[in-house]
């Protein structure tokens, strides 16, 4: 349910992001700009094969907090979620959900030690809705109590998003480090390192915290070298009054590594 709440909040921030998107589009000219949300529950090793989209059974199951078992002797996968028990046999086109059998047009796919199920069948098995994003090359599975995005191609910028989370963790642990510059060098540019050391952390004036559990995130990917990540905190009472707060992290790719090159903070006050 936390994911659904985050999705709802992102809708509130859409107006701000549209303005930012238009501004970036004017600056980037011919560069491709792509805007999307950052999802919590993600599987990056989906597959597109023979006109169908496949998802790894274990990966999707774990993201949906389901228990996944594999019997190597019988070649049967079992997925248990709540009161539902789903069984799949390698080589069979029958998907069983409790006492109900679902006929698939293709059988399971086995590659590199992983078992893949067609996305359409996953939707039927979990009783969820499947939508396809051509831009993301990803299938979105939405259930009443969960949500997962399955990419058939891991996005190039996924490494940048991962690098940002690692960078934030480094700053959170900065007080225990003696050689701060060396410690931060792998995740920040020199100019940002100078600011972090001077301020002994991120210098967020309105919202000084970096606890992002309740924040929703989105990004604008301007080209193969630049990524902007927006972390939205929603309504927050600050010394400037009540308003919406967004922290902005700009990353650049240098020599195959993503580095945080700038950090900003936007505050949009509520008007009576």
Residues 147-166, mean pLDDT to the nearest whole number: 81
Distance of CA 43 to the CA centre of its chain: 9
Percent of the chain with pLDDT over 70: 76
pLDDT confidence of residue 180: 92
Domain ranges across the chain: 2-40+156-269, 54-151
Please give the mean pLDDT across all residues of the chain.
78
CA distances from 223 to 16, 31, 47, 227 (A): 21, 6, 24, 8
Is the pLDDT confidence value at 208 over 80?
no
pLDDT tier at 173, thresholds 50, 70, 90: confident
* Fold adopted by 54-151: Copper Amine Oxidase; Chain A, domain 1 (3.30.457)
Please state which CATH number belongs to domain 2-40+156-269. 3.10.450
Residue 42 to residue 140: CA distance in whole angstroms: 9
Given a cut of 60, is residue 254 above it in pLDDT? yes
Query: pTM of the full predicted structure?
Result: 0.56
Cβ-in-10-Å burial (0-12, 13-18, 19+) of 137 comes to middle
Name which of 223, 220, 217 is nearest 253 in CA terms: 223
59/242 Cα distance (integer angstroms): 41
- Burial, 216: exposed, middle or buried (Cβ in 10 Å; 0-12, 13-18, 19+)? buried
Confidence (pLDDT) at 37:
60
β-strand 216-223 against 226-238: which pairing, if any? antiparallel
């Amino acid at each position: 349910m936390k994911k659904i709440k985050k999705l709802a909040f992102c809708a509130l921030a859409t107006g701000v992001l549209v303005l930012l998107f238009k501004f970036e589009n004017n600056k980037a000219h011919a560069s491709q700009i792509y805007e999307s949300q950052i999802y919590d529950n993600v599987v990056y090793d989906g597959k597109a094969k023979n006109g169908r989209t496949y998802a790894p059974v274990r990966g999707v199951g774990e993201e949906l907090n389901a228990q996944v078992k594999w019997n190597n002797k019988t070649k049967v996968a079992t997925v248990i979620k709540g009161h539902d028990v789903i069984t799949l046999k390698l080589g069979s086109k029958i998907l069983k959900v409790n006492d109900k059998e679902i006929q698939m047009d293709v059988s399971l796919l086995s590659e590199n030690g992983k078992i893949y199920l067609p996305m359409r069948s996953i939707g039927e098995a979990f009783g969820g809705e499947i939508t396809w994003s051509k831009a993301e090359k990803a299938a979105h599975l939405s259930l009443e109590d969960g949500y997962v995005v399955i990419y058939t191609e891991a996005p190039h910028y996924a490494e940048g998003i991962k690098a940002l989370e690692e960078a934030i963790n480094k700053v959170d642990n900065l007080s225990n480090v003696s050689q701060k510059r060396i410690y931060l060098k792998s995740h920040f540019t020199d100019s940002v390192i100078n600011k972090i050391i001077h301020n002994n952390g991120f210098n967020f004036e309105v919202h000084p915290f970096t606890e992002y559990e309740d924040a929703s995130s989105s990004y604008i990917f301007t080209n193969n070298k630049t990524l902007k990540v927006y972390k939205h905190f929603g309504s927050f009472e600050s010394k400037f009054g009540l308003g919406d707060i967004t922290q902005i992290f700009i990353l650049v790719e240098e020599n195959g590594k993503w580095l945080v090159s700038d950090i900003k903070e936007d505050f949009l006050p509520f008007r009576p």
